């Protein structure tokens, strides 16, 4: 199952997955919509009969402001955007059978939680809260047979970060592994956490950032220069 804000993006992703030999179905809409979680689970059950794995990838920082300029609306909107869709989808999936045969959840966090970039204060707060939620849900859902973990990417080469690719390539040379993180790197960590190889792993956040977090708090494309 995939979801996205535009029909064209969803259709393209479905086509790519089918070309790779996967069964695929998509739901178009924003994760914040009140009925989105139910629509996704409905479609999963209709197309595949059950829900075994759940990956929450929703996130973003639409209100990049210095701490003394950030308003209540922007702060709360950032918190809600990065947390509530994940909570809602986990709740819906649990109600509809995620735990019936055991299952696994992966929440996509961010390496921003390790930094102190002032203009990213709302985003850091949101992803830190997501990590806390991940750990708490791991304890709550573990006895039901469901593992809950997280993956925290650093700056990653994706279509959404295209304007930052040049910065990312330069920054990568200062990091431990000297390589710019790709979407496949994130996917590999997610697949591990969903798999039986991680059957004893829960409540854990894996950083996938090429060692970016080791550089300290000042390394960010949003930091003043």
Which distant-in-sequence residues (6+ apart) come within 8 Å of 97 by Cβ?
45, 50, 51
Beta strands 26-28 and 53-56 are unpaired
98-133-142 Cα angle (round to 5): 45
C-beta of residue 175 within 8 angstroms of C-beta of residue 211: yes
Question: Which tens digits make up the pLDDT trace of 93-151?
Answer: 999 999 898 899 999 999 999 999 999 999 999 999 999 999 999 999 999 999 999 99
pLDDT value of position 62 = 84
Distance of CA 130 to the CA centre of its chain: 10
Rounded to whole angstroms, the Cα distance separating 43 from 45 reads: 5
SS3 177: coil
222: pLDDT confidence band, cut at 50, 70 and 90? low
Q: Which percentage of the chain shows pLDDT scores above 90?
A: 75
164: pLDDT confidence band, cut at 50, 70 and 90? confident
pLDDT value of position 75 = 95
Rounded to whole angstroms, the Cα distance separating 120 from 108 reads: 17
Report pTM.
0.91
pLDDT value of position 221 = 65
Q: Which residues are catalytic?
A: 110, 123, 127
C-beta of residue 51 within 8 angstroms of C-beta of residue 98: yes
pLDDT value of position 28 = 96
Q: What is the mean pLDDT of residues 171-191?
A: 92
Q: What is the mean pLDDT of residues 56-69?
A: 90
For residue 83, the tally of other CB atoms under 10 A from its CB is: 21
Question: Is CATH 3.10.20.90 the right assignment for the domain spanning 52-215?
Answer: no
């Amino acid at each position: 199952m995939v979801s996205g804000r535009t029909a064209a993006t969803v259709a393209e992703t479905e086509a790519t997955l089918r070309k790779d030999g996967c069964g695929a179905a998509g739901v178009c809409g924003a994760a914040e919509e009140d009925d989105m979680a139910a629509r996704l689970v409905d479609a999963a059950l209709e197309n595949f009969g059950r829900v075994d794995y759940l990956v929450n990838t929703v996130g973003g920082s639409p209100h990049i402001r210095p701490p003394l300029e950030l308003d209540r609306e922007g702060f709360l909107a950032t918190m809600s955007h990065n947390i509530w869709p994940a909570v809602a989808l986990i709740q819906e999936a649990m109600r509809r059978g995620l735990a019936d045969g055991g299952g696994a959840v992966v929440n996509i966090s961010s390496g921003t939680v390790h930094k102190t970039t002032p203009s990213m204060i709302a985003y850091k707060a949101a992803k830190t809260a997501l990590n806390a939620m991940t750990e708490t849900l791991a304890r709550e859902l573990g006895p039901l047979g469901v593992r809950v973990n997280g993956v925290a990417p650093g700056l990653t080469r994706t279509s959404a970060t295209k304007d930052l690719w040049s910065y990312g390539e330069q920054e990568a040379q200062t990091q431990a592994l000297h390589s710019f993180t790709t979407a496949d790197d994130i996917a590999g960590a997610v697949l591990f956490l969903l798999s039986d190889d991680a059957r004893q792993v829960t409540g854990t956040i894996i950083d996938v950032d090429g060692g970016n977090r080791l550089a300290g708090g000042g390394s960010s494309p949003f930091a003043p220069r």
